[in-house]
Amino acid sequence: MTPSVPSQEATALLDGLRAFIEPAHVRVDPESCLNYGRDWTRLYVPNPLAVVLPGTVEQVQQLVRYANDHRLALVPSGGRTGLSGAAVACRGEIVVSLDRLNRILDFDPTDRSVTCQAGVVTETLQNFARDHDLYYPVDFAARGSSQIGGNIATNAGGIKVIRYGLTRDWVTGLKVVTGRGDLLDLNRGLIKNASGYDLRHLFIGSEGTLGIIVEATLQLTQPLREPSVMVLGVPDLDGIMALYGAFRGRLELSAFEFFSELALRHVLKKGLHRPFETATPYYVLIEFENPEQAQTDEALALFEQCAEQGWLADGVISQSEAQAKELWRLREDISESISEHQPYKNDVSVRISRVPALLAEMDELLAREYPDFEVLWYGHIGDGNLHINILKPANLEPATFARQCGAVSEHLFEILRRHGGSISAEHGVGLTKKPYLHYTRDETEIGYLRAIKQAFDPNGIMNPGKIFDGSTRVPTSPSKTS
C-alpha cells in the first residue's frame, strides 16, 4: 500500500508547486481530477492529488525535480485515450498534463520532418502534413483526441501498420525529461546515427515510467496514391488469412482489417448501414493504392478468384473518397459503439504465419469458456493483431465480470505463449495487463526492464505501478486533500 501523508502536508506540497507553476494550472477541482485521472478503461476510480499543466519544458523539469525532492508520484498524461490504464492516477499521484505544450515548432521540407511538442493532437499533425502535401501515416480512431507524446509513450499502432509500421518507425528525435529531472535531446532528427545505445527507443513504449516526453521530431512521407477500400464478407475463419495471402501478393495494401458480424451489429445499431445484403460471420476490410485502372482490374479479378475458392461470399469496393470513409467507419466505430457495455479487452498478437492456428485455438477456447457472454472479434489481422472484446452483461457486477474474464485470459495467454505471441499488441501493459506480463517476458528479461527503470528513475516517481510493480521501494504519494 502507498503510505499517505496528512492533508496539511499535501496542502504545503501544492503550495510548493504553485511557486513555479502558475496557480491556475495546478488544479484540484473534482472535475479536473476525474477527467485527468483516468483513461478510456473506466475500470479504476480516479484519485489524483492534483492535475498540473506545465507550460514550458523548464516547468516540466522543475516539476520532476520537485517530485524527486518530495517523493511524489507523477503520471504523465496525453489525450488519455489509452485502453490499459497506463494514464490512470488512482493513488494520490500528480497528473502531469501535456495539454499546454501543444505547438508545432518546426517543419523542414528537405528532411520531410516536423518537430512538435508532446501535447499536439494526432489529427492536428496529420492535417499539418497534408497541408504540406505530405503524410503522417500513424492513424487510428482516436486521432481527434490522442496526443503525439501519448502515442510515443505507447508506441501506438493503428490501422496502417501493415504498410507503415508503428509510431516507433516515425520518431527521428525525442526530447525527454528523465525521472531524474535531466533533459535529454535524443537523436536530433538523424536518419543514421550509430553512436551507441539509442535511448530514444527506450522511451518509445515506456508508458511514462522512465520520464516525460516533451518534444518529438517525426518523419513524414508521401501521401497514399488514390486509396480504395474493399469490404468482403467471409463465411469462415479460415477464409480470412486465405484472403490475406491472395490480396497481399498482388496489390499494395495499406490496411488489412477484420471484424465479426457480432461486432458489425453494434455499429449498425448506431446508424451505419450494412456494406451489402449478405450477412457473413466475418468481414475483412482491405485498403490498397489504386492509382490506375490496372489495380482496379486486379482487385476485381482477385475478388472473382477468391469467391470461386469459397473464401468470400460478397463484397463491395469504394467508388469515391466519401464511400471509402463510410466503409472505414464500419471497422473504426466498433470500439466506441461497444463502450457502453464496458467490454473486457484482449489485444493480442502473434507472427502472421501463426494467425490461422491462433484463430482456430481461440475460437475453440472462447466458445467453451464464454458460453453466456457476447464475444466480439475485430482487429488488425494483417499485422497478426486481434482485439477480443467480451461485453459485460448489464446485471453483472464489474469486478466479478473482470475476475471471470481475467481467469479466461490466463488460458488465452497460455495459447499465446505456445505461439510466441504477446499479451499486448498495441494497447500497452499499464495496469490491466500487468498481472500477465510474465506470459510474454520472462523473469530475466523483466529484471533488465527494472534495471533500466532504476537508471532513469531511481526514486520510482515516474508512473509507479504501471507495467510492473516497483522492486525497490514504493514512492510516497500524499493522500488527497479534502
Whether residue 83 contacts residue 230, with contact meaning beta carbons closer than 8 Å, is answered with no
CB of 331: closest distance to ligand MLT in angstroms? Answer: 7
Nearer to ligand MLT, 40 or 311 (CB): 40
Nearer to ligand MLT, 61 or 335 (CB): 335
Report the alpha-carbon angle 209-211-216, nearest 5: 120
Nearer to ligand MLT, 335 or 477 (CB): 335
DSSP strand E in 7-121: where?
26-27, 50-52, 74-77, 94-97, 104-108, 113-117
Whether residue 3 contacts residue 476, with contact meaning beta carbons closer than 8 Å, is answered with yes
Nearer to ligand MLT, 387 or 419 (CB): 387
Nearer to ligand MLT, 141 or 412 (CB): 141
Grid cell at residue 218? 517525426
Nearer to ligand MLT, 63 or 425 (CB): 425
CB of 272: closest distance to ligand MLT in angstroms? Answer: 15
Residue number with the smallest Cβ distance to ligand MLT:
335
User: Which positions ≥6 away from 368 have C-beta within 8 Å?
Assistant: none
Nearer to ligand MLT, 47 or 335 (CB): 335
CB of 415: closest distance to ligand MLT in angstroms? Answer: 19
Whether residue 130 contacts residue 216, with contact meaning beta carbons closer than 8 Å, is answered with no
Phi and psi angles of residue 109, each rounded to the nearest 5 degrees, phi first: -65, -30
User: Assign residue 414 a region: left if phi > 0, alpha if psi is -120 to 50, beta otherwise?
Assistant: alpha
Task: Write out the DSSP string of 107-143.
Answer: EETTTTEEEEETT-BHHHHHHHHHHTT-B-----GGG
Q: Is 445 helix (H, G, I), strand (E, B) or coil?
A: helix
CB of 142: closest distance to ligand MLT in angstroms? Answer: 7
CB of 335: closest distance to ligand MLT in angstroms? Answer: 3
What type of residue is 90?
A: C
- By C-alpha distance, which of 19, 18, 64, 395 is closest to 211? 64
Nearer to ligand MLT, 335 or 349 (CB): 335
Phi and psi angles of residue 184, each rounded to the nearest 5 degrees, phi first: -110, 135
CB of 318: closest distance to ligand MLT in angstroms? Answer: 20
CB of 425: closest distance to ligand MLT in angstroms? Answer: 9
Measured distance CA(40)–CA(227) in Å, rounded:
31
Order of strands, sheet of 74-77, starting from the edge strand that comes earlier in the sequence: 26-27, 50-52, 94-97, 74-77
Q: How far is CA 178 from CA 153, 196, 291, in A?
A: 13, 19, 46
Taking the alpha carbons of 78, 79, 84, 88 in that order, is the dihedral positive or negative? positive
Nearer to ligand MLT, 117 or 146 (CB): 146
CB of 435: closest distance to ligand MLT in angstroms? Answer: 19
CB of 382: closest distance to ligand MLT in angstroms? Answer: 12
Nearer to ligand MLT, 77 or 385 (CB): 385
Binding region for ligand MLT (CB under 6 A): 141, 335, 387
Looking at residue 246, the DSSP 8-state letter turns out to be H
CB of 134: closest distance to ligand MLT in angstroms? Answer: 25
